[in-house]
A and B are shown apart, each in its own frame.
Chain A
Amino acid sequence: MSPAHYVFLATILFVIGAVGVLVRRNAIVIFMCVELMLNACNLAFVAFARMHGNLDGQVVAFFVMVVAAAEVVVGLAILMAIYRARKSASVDDANLLKY
């Protein structure tokens, strides 16, 4: 197996996620795109761990999953609150905190 395939796949997934974060307005979709970027990273970590034959990358991947789970908990809660207050899930509507 060649690591290049995994790295290409991870890069494609990461770019899709990044573009999604930048171009989509719906907060739920942005969330999913962020998860996509995180999991692209996880894929790279795991692939390199397997290639080098040690567990460091896999441990980091678990940490990323835990952080992502925590992020989802807090993020979704905020999202719910914003939606209840504004009847909108668009991130461009929530722009009061500025200069």
Chain B
Amino acid sequence: MTTLAATGVLRASWLLLAFPIFGAAVLLLGGRRTDRWGHLLGCAMPLASFAYGVIAFFTLLGYPAAERSRDLHLYSWIPVGTFQANIGILLDPLSICFVLLITGVGSLIHIYSIGYMSHDTDRRRFFGYMNLFIAAMLLLVIADNYLALYAGWEGVGLASYLLIGFWQFKPSAAVAAKKAFIANRVGDAGLSLAIMLMFAEFGTFTFSGVFSSAKSGGSGVALALGLLLLLGACGKSAQLPLQSWLLDAMEGPTPVSALIHAATMVTAGVYLMVRSNPILANAADARMAVAIVGAVTLLFGGIIACAKDDIKKSLAGSTMSQIGYMMLGAGLGPAGYAFAIAQLLAHGFFKAGLFLGAGSVMHGMNDEVDMRRYGALGRIMPITSVTFGLAYLAIIGIPPFSGFFTKDPIIDAAWESGGTSGWLLGGAAIIGAGITAFYMTRMMLMTWAGNKRWEEHAHPHESPAVMTWPMIILAIGSVGAGAFLIINDRLVDFLAPVVGLPPTLHGIWTGPGLVALALTLVAAAGAWAMYGRVPVPGTAPRGSVVTVAARKDLYGDAFNESVLMRPGQWLTRLSVYFDSRGVDGLVNTLAATIGGTSGRLRRIQTGFVRSYALSMLIGAVLLVAGLLVVRL
């Protein structure tokens, strides 16, 4: 499809970025003066962006389907000869979906944070960082070229770093922030190499230019680009092998986990893959790599989530797993792009709802995160438990909730991709559905049902309205979003101009989907047998080998430490040894020799005139003797 110039109300699309940038600038530069009303400004800015996003969405809907891709040139960033880096905004069906998700869910989480962070003296700074994140994330999804996308990509990384380490007085939070930043840098290196390769091969960064060249270009370049972009996506979306940072990222405040590490930022990798679909179209092997990464991660994350007692870490494992579904969908090509985005949008609702619910529980329980200290909270927190329960039904895919509609098409598409890979990918997706049901049911039972296992001084209570209303709205989204997006192929048709139509469309009820649903019910029943029928022990039992491994994140950190960190430390130690003993040693020995020798020679200067006279005499005698020897 061709991109047209933005007209009418879309010419103001820079407002999307301007609002949150303004909010972040005022809150971060204004300092303590803005403490009193900072949180209100912080909420108003994403709401304003959301209002503009809704207007832009309906404006786009008003155009014919082929004319919904609108570009607005903002300014020339780096115009040097043939190197033209421009900042431009591309509003098309794909980016407007993300705009609505980021600003909509983002606004709800901002409002929730007013209540959640009310006891924190640094609430203003928190809102400043959150607005910075919204601005960077919007730049990431509405940029019309890879360079501006990269700027947003780094911006969200920075905001994520600042917010994971928001309570930087806790060493664990500071370390987690650093870990997230470093793991992301590995992925960012892939993305930046991809951008350099684009410029070297195609001479441009713009989506339109790169995609038209990629269609005609060689498949080798497309394969390299696809794999490098996948590396970038793995870093940002916490997919194997760069998954280890996401579980530690839960050190940040819970609204951060909900917004950045569940609903929006971690899905940027999926956006990158779907946006780059013309490149992937030319590189079947890269697409297969994307699908494999997704399938492996969805099992990996799910297994970790099954064993964690920390409610946030369990949800983080679940996020990895759900993003694995999206990556799997994106790896299936046009058959899966639209469903990956559908899963992404629905996941934004139900996972944000789950995290906000977890935050609500923590808010009432003195920041307790251990589910073995929960139990029997359902009656005490009715609104939280009901919204959490609706999001739970959505994530495990019980019809007619969201997850059922958005996950089943991915399972179908994976199953139908054909051959052995279809069996493996589809099988992984179906087993993943069962694992999802198991860990989510376990979380539900341990938190809301069963016996009281609270600490003595815990006085659980329902959260204030400013926190419950966002959860209620997200719960409504969890219930209805999937059906709204999938029935009548609404999202598929809407995204078709950007990502193409799936080759075949299925009904709601399909064979693999029914198998997944049956497995879901069995797994939920199994979880009930283990955690609902018998009381949950207050301390974790030792567990099997698999449980122990899953508690340790399936040895992801151990692998990184033994394969990357230790050899790296040895290398640095070796270099330091060589530098201090080899290079420095040579120079220092030379200097010490000269210094020592001159120190001893200096002693000849005694200050006694007669000794000088003696040395002169000896010298003269030697000279004469030498002359005589030579002459004779």
Interface residues of A (CB under 8 A from B): 18, 21-23, 25, 30, 91-92, 94-99
Interchain CA distance A99-B599 in the complex, whole Å: 9
Residue of B nearest to A24 (CB): B610
Residues from chain B with a CB closer than 8 A to the CB of A30 are 609
CB-nearest residue of chain A relative to B621? A18
In the complex, which of the residues B603, B605, B608, B617 contacts A91, with contact meaning CB atoms closer than 8 Å? B608
A99 and B617: CB pair below 8 A?
Answer: no
The 10 closest A-B pairs by CB, nearest first: A98-B607, A95-B607, A99-B605, A99-B602, A91-B609, A98-B605, A21-B613, A95-B608, A98-B606, A22-B614
A99 in contact with B610 given A18-B617, A22-B617 (CB within 8 Å): no
Chain A facing B: main interface SS: loop
Select from chain A the residue with minimum beta-carbon distance to B606.
Answer: A98
The total of Cβ contacts below 8 Å across the A-B interface reads 32
* Contact among A91, A97, A98 with B610 in the assembled complex (CB-CB below 8 Å): A91
Distance from A31 Cβ to chain B, minimum over Cβ atoms (Å):
12
- In Å, the complex CA distance between A93 and B608 comes to 8
By a CB distance below 8 angstroms, the chain A residues around B608 are: 91-92, 95
CB-defined contacts of B604 to chain A, threshold 8 Å: 99
A22 and B609 alpha carbons, distance in the complex (Å): 9
Task: Tell me, rounded to whole Å, the shortest Cβ–Cβ distance linking A7 to chain B.
Answer: 14
Q: Are B610 and A22 in contact (CB under 8 A)?
A: yes
What CA separation (Å) do A97 and B602 show in the bound complex? Answer: 12
Q: B605 contacts A21, CB within 8 Å?
A: no
Residue from B603, B606, B609, B613 in contact with A94 in the complex, judged by beta carbons closer than 8 Å: B609
Does A92 lie within 8 Å of B610, measured CB to CB?
Answer: yes
How far, in whole Å, are A96 and B606 apart by their CA atoms in the complex?
9
- Shortest distance between the CB of A88 and any CB in chain B (Å): 13
CA distance A23 to B610 in the complex (A): 8
- Complex Cα distance, B605 from A99, in Å, reads 5
Q: Return the CB mask of B376-398 against A: 1 if under 8 Å, else 0.
A: 00000000000000000000000
**Docked pose: A34 CA to B182 CA in angstroms:** 82
Q: Let me know if A22 and B613 touch, CB within 8 A.
A: yes
A81 to chain B, nearest CB (A): 15
Q: Which of B607, B613, B614, B617 contacts A96 (CB 8 A)?
A: B607
Contact pattern, B 560-591, Cβ under 8 Å of A = 1, otherwise 0? 00000000000000000000000000000000
Q: How far is the CA of A25 from the CA of B602 in the complex (A)?
A: 24
In the complex, what residue of chain B is closest to A96 when comparing beta carbons?
A: B607
What 15 new A-B contacts, CB under 8 Å, besides A94-B609, A95-B607? A18-B617, A21-B610, A22-B610, A23-B610, A25-B610, A30-B609, A91-B608, A91-B609, A91-B610, A92-B608, A95-B606, A97-B607, A98-B605, A99-B603, A99-B604
| A18 proximity list for chain B (CB < 8 A) | 617
Q: Which residues of B contact A22 (CB under 8 A)?
A: 610, 613-614, 617
Q: In the assembled complex, which residues on chain B have CB atoms less than 8 Å from the CB atom of A91?
A: 608-610
In the complex formed, the residue of B with least CB distance to A18 is B617
In the docked arrangement, what's the CA distance between A97 and B605, Å?
Answer: 8
